[in-house]
Amino acid sequence: MDRRQYLGVVASVGVVGTAGCGAVAGRQTLTDPTVHADSPQRRSIEWVSNGEAVGELGVSGTVSSGVLDLATELSHREGTTVQSIRLRVWMPQTATDSASEVAVVSPVEGDSSPPPSLSLYTPQRALGTVIEVTDLDDLADETISTLDLLVRPGSETARKLTIDSTIELADSDVFNSGYTLDGELELTFPERGTQ
């Protein structure tokens, strides 16, 4: 084989190899998480890819003086980092009549970095309140359990709370640029109907 044929074969193999890498690379969106229900006030959703857990969001709630106290925990696969967290919190029974008030209680901060960017707002085309956390710095590769919420329902009898979540993860694997985790969980507070 002469040098030109050899270079031609090497170049075509390189193109095929590159094309294969391009097909594998990219952000993967996971939209059908498994729901785990420990109790009506404690739920979690878990996203799995290729038989391996990628991330899990858990929420536990209690009621005190009519206010829902929600503790969240986000864990993710080793080798991934959290780029952003977006939670939309709403109570379906009263969302169109009287919106619930939502507040972030716990400081979302790491050990040595400045606190992440946090914003709360009402979305234009959806019900509820959105909480967005970005620029997580040294929290990005940890389990995040420092985001607690208080929700004051717009009605005395509203019992169901829905949390829509979108979590962006970056992956250190050269063949995968990360994941978008979309899911919804619902908590029920039957005791609110008796207050």
pLDDT at 32: 94
- Per the structure block, which two tokens stand in for 108? 């979302």
pLDDT at 3: 42
pLDDT at 176: 62
CB 130 within 8 A of CB 86: yes
pLDDT value of position 22: 38
Asked whether residue 10 is domain-assigned, the answer is no
Rg of the chain in Å (alpha carbons):
22
Tell me if 12 is assigned to some domain: no
Which residues in the chain show pLDDT less than 50?
3-24, 194-195
| CA gap 173, 176 in Å, rounded | 5
| Structural domain containing residue 174 | 27-194
What pLDDT sits at residue 124?
A: 83
Cβ-contact 167, 57 below 8 angstroms: yes
Quote the pTM value.
Answer: 0.80
Least Cα distance to 80 among 59, 56, 60 occurs for: 56
Q: Structurally, how many domains does the chain consist of?
A: 1
Q: What is the pairing mode between strands 117-121 and 178-188?
A: unpaired
- 21 found inside a domain: no
Question: How far does the chain reach from its first CA to its final CA, in angstroms?
Answer: 87
Whether 15 maps to a domain, the answer reads: no
105 inside domain = yes
**CATH number (domain holding residue 47):** 2.60.40.680
| pLDDT at residue 105 in the model | 87
Residue 150 placed within a domain: yes
